[in-house]
Amino acid sequence: MTNTRQTTVTLEPVDQRLIEGWQRDFPLHDRPYAIIGKAMELAEDAVIRRYATLRAAGLIGRIGAVVAPNTLGASTLAAMAVPTKQLDAVANLISAEPGVSHNYHRDNEMNLWFVVTGPDLQSVEAVIAGIESRTGLPVNDLRLVEPYHLDLGFELDGAIGAGPRQILRKPNLAAIHPGDRDLVATIETGLPLASRPFLSIAAVTGLSENAILERLNALIQASIIRRFGVVVKHRALGYSTNAMAVWDVPDADVHRLGKAFGSEPGVTLCYVRRRADAWPFNLYCMVHARRCEDALAVIDRLNNIADAKPRNHTVLFSKRCFKQTGATLSRQLSTVA
* Per-residue pLDDT tens over the stretch 164-185: 455 678 899 999 999 999 999 9
At residue 277 the predicted structure's pLDDT band, cuts being 50, 70 and 90, is very high
Residue 320 class from Cβ within 10 Å (0-12 exposed, 13-18 middle, 19+ buried)? middle
Q: In the predicted model, what is the mean pLDDT of the chain?
A: 87
pLDDT for residue 291: 84
At residue 233 the predicted structure's pLDDT band, cuts being 50, 70 and 90, is confident
Vertex 203 angle, CA 197 and 207, to 5°: 95
Query: How does pLDDT run across 70-84, given as a tens digit for each residue?
Result: 999 899 999 999 999
At residue 1 the predicted structure's pLDDT band, cuts being 50, 70 and 90, is very low
The predicted model gives 96-118 an average pLDDT of 95
Taking CA atoms, 73 is separated from 3, 168, 217, 289, in Å, by 29, 19, 18, 29
Query: How does pLDDT run across 17-29, given as a tens digit for each residue?
Result: 999 889 888 999 9
At residue 212 the predicted structure's pLDDT band, cuts being 50, 70 and 90, is very high
The predicted model gives 321-326 an average pLDDT of 84
Residue 237 scores a pLDDT above 70: no
The predicted model gives 91-117 an average pLDDT of 96
